[in-house]
Amino acid sequence: MEIRAFAYFFIGRTAKTVSTNPKSKNVDKFLGVFWSMNESAIRELTLTSWAARVWEKELRGVPLQFQEAALAFCMRQHNEWRQYWNQLATCGKENTKVVSMLVHVYNDAAVKLQLDRNDPPEINSLYQVLRGRGITDMDALHTIAFVLQEQTWQAKTNGGPFDMNAYVDRVRTCVQTLVENPRLVRTSK
């Protein structure tokens, strides 16, 4: 995937949702920095190379902000994939297993960013409902991220914009189903 796809799936979607939240004014600063990058550097940036840079910074202890912090957090939560994270800098685009892992982690990170910013607030509330029912942090996050992936795929397939209201409604339905049927919760381990 090229950076344009990344911008739609990760930055663009979250930027649209955070713009109405006064706590999220830093997104505009971030986007200004992001979009002012050298155009040729953006063309060369892929999901894999961006994740490799974030992971390398994480390992060195460099403070991360915004999307990078959310991505690094979610990468750390998937310790079973650490061997792949450590080799991202040398990984080719054709490695579909790694790309699949990265898409999974990017969806996790998009939800993590929504939770951190409480934007949209309904997602955070629904996440808290799951946590209140004893569902682990990552299992609750994965429940929401699965819906995010589903809604993103639907928008891409239909050629339309991401529908935030449909996303929130679908998460609400999933949470209600899990509250009524706790045995349906998929666990991380």
The string of pLDDT tens digits covering residues 145-155 is: 999 999 999 99
**Phi, then psi, of 46 in degrees rounded to 5:** -120, 170
In this prediction, residue 17 carries a pLDDT of 35
* 188 closest CA partner among 79, 46, 36: 79
Distance from the first to the final alpha carbon of the chain:
29
In this prediction, the residues of the chain whose per-residue pLDDT falls under 70 are: 1-45, 93, 185-189
Q: Which residue has the tokens 């951190």?
A: 116
Cis peptide before 120 (omega within 30 of 0): yes
- Do 2 and 99 touch, CB atoms closer than 8 A? no
Residue 7 carries which DSSP code?
I
pLDDT at 186: 65
pLDDT of 189 reads 46
Q: How far is CA 15 from CA 102, 120, 158, 164, 178, in A?
A: 20, 11, 21, 12, 29
CA dihedral 36, 12, 57, 119 (to 10 degrees): 130
Neighbours of 106 (CB within 10 A): 25
- pLDDT for res 187: 61
pLDDT digits (tens, 9 = 90+) for 98-141: 989 999 999 999 999 999 999 999 999 999 999 999 999 999 99
Residues paired with residue 46 on neighbouring β-strands, in sequence order: 2
Interatomic CA distance for residues 27 and 131, integer angstroms: 27
Note the pTM of the prediction, 2 decimals: 0.76
- pLDDT of the residue at 185: 67
How far is CA 57 from each of CA 4, 65, 128, 152, rounded to the nearest angstrom? Answer: 23, 11, 30, 28
pLDDT at residue 95, as a whole number: 83
Residue 103's contacts (CB-CB under 8 Å, 6 or more residues apart) are 47, 149
The reported pLDDT for the residue numbered 29 is 37
